[in-house]
Chains A and B, each alone.
Chain A
Amino acid sequence: MNKIVQWSEIAPMFQDGMSVMFGGFMGVGTPQGIVAALLKSGVSDLTLIGNDTAMPEVGVGPLVSSGKVAKVIVSHIGTNPITGKKMIAGELDVDLVPQGTLIERIRCGGSGLGGVLTPTGVGTVVEEGKTKMAVGGKEYLLELPLRANVAIIKAKRADRAGNLVYERAARNFNPVIAFAADLVIVEVDELVEIGEIDPDLVMTPAALVDKIVLSQGA
């Protein structure tokens, strides 16, 4: 099965109203080429799920600025003033989730689990509307799984089968979201033949990857 696609094939993979999980932390590990293609596709009413909205020109910032995003589920928006402005103006729904809870909800969504019990958020606004459970005398919140229609991932290297290797701290959410979406699209800097990545060093197994596109300028 050929997973390698051209840039012209990326935009048609998106539709209005889709939920899109993205890798990256302050834009480091976000597939900027796919973000640009998504922006050009003109689709709207998107829900973005990932760590943060980075900065206006970085990460998913350009998508937020474009007005094509209806909702973000993130842990932090403080570095992108446009996200805050749109939230206050009522143009963007912002669901703030503690970072450790967000990644565990995604992990649950991708690994067949019905949720996770975490102490994080007990006694704060985060607990509002959630089921609380006591285990061993300690209180936990039941946090529910998160999945998306599409996951967009940035990897350093892929083989033609889709085994992935990430670079340094650009790993962050990427290997976790690879489990939690119906369609997994990866932007890579380097494409190698099958067998060239040591099996012990594979960070995301090829079985999770649907489409691979080579970074422009790589």
Chain B
Amino acid sequence: MEAKEIIARRVAQELKEGYVVNLGIGLPTMVPRFLSKGVNITLQSENGFLGLGPLEGEPMPGVVNAGGIPCGLVPGAAMFDSATSFALIRGGHVDVTVLGGLQVDEEGSLANWMVPGKMVPGMGGAMDLVNGARKVIVAMEHCTREGEARLLERCNPTHGKVPRLDGGYGTCRIQYFTR
């Protein structure tokens, strides 16, 4: 099994029945495959809906995930505008967000939206998710392709640091998930 699958499987164990979950692009989107039987979660998509599901059959007009990729809607899904989507996110109505990352540090800060000298993709919805979701899980491998550590004492601000502000939703708990 590939490292990414192992990580996705481990993250899936953190998700409990009834949770509202936002999944970032890349590795996090693998997580639902590994949910235990009987655990039903609702996926929130930051582009404006609850009830994201796998694509079954032909793509449907306007039904895409936050990566712009065609997806499905589960029965009972609800669509809304971006202001409502981020009211859900910032307002503490999302139980868990699973994000990819470049670096994570001891304080629970995450760096995920700049690669120095390479590119500046932008933060998109990540800063709001890190602030507003009740629990933030960063799903990433320990080292970069070049072998540099991603778990640090302090994130490098040039990578787009996003601090975890403990906004009354409890303290930050850092767990190192290993193989």
Which residues on B sit within 8 Å (CB–CB) of A25? Answer: 47-48, 64, 66, 68, 82
Task: Give the distance in Å from the alpha carbon of A159 to the alpha carbon of B33 in the complex.
Answer: 43
Contact B128 A98 (CB under 8 A): yes
Given contacts A169-B49, A174-B81, contact A123 B127 (CB under 8 A): no
Q: Choose from B60, B67, B123, B165 the contact partner of A168 (Cβ within 8 Å).
A: B60
Interface presence of B116 (CB below 8 A): no
* B64, B121, B160: the one within 8 Å of A77 (CB): B121
* CB nearest to A53 among chain B residues: B122
CB distance from B133 to the nearest CB of A (A): 12
The answer to whether A173 and B81 have CB atoms under 8 Å apart is: yes
Identity of the chain B residue whose Cβ is nearest the Cβ of A102 in the assembled complex? B82
The verdict on A78 contacting B83 (CB below 8 Å), with A98-B127, A124-B127, A170-B62 known, is no
A194 within 8 Å of B (CB atoms): no
- Over the window 12-32 of chain A, the binary record of Cβ atoms lying under 8 Å from chain B Cβ atoms (1 yes, 0 no) is 000000000000011111000
Q: How long is the Cα–Cα vector from A79 to B121 in the complex, in angstroms?
A: 7
- Contact (A76, B124) CB under 8 Å given A99-B82, A123-B163: yes
B168 neighbours in A (Cβ, 8 Å):
138
Per a CB cutoff under 8 Å, which of A104, A119, A167 touches B131?
A: A119
How many residues on A have C-beta within 8 angstroms of the other chain's C-beta atoms? 49
Question: Does A149 make an interface contact (CB < 8 A)?
Answer: no
Bound form: Cα–Cα A26–B66 in Å: 8
B143 within 8 A of A: no
Contacts A99-B128, A125-B157, A169-B62 supplied; 20 other A-B pairs, CB < 8 Å: A28-B47, A52-B124, A75-B125, A78-B124, A96-B123, A98-B124, A98-B126, A99-B46, A99-B124, A103-B83, A123-B163, A123-B165, A124-B127, A139-B165, A167-B62, A171-B48, A171-B62, A171-B80, A172-B47, A203-B81
Q: List 14 A-B contacts (CB under 8 A).
A: A75-B125, A77-B122, A78-B121, A78-B124, A84-B119, A96-B120, A98-B125, A100-B89, A100-B90, A100-B127, A104-B86, A119-B167, A124-B162, A172-B85
The 3 tightest CB contacts between A and B, nearest first, are A78-B121, A26-B68, A168-B62
- B interface with A by C-beta (< 8 Å): 45-49, 60-64, 66-68, 73, 79-83, 85-86, 89-90, 119-128, 131-132, 157, 160-163, 165, 167-168
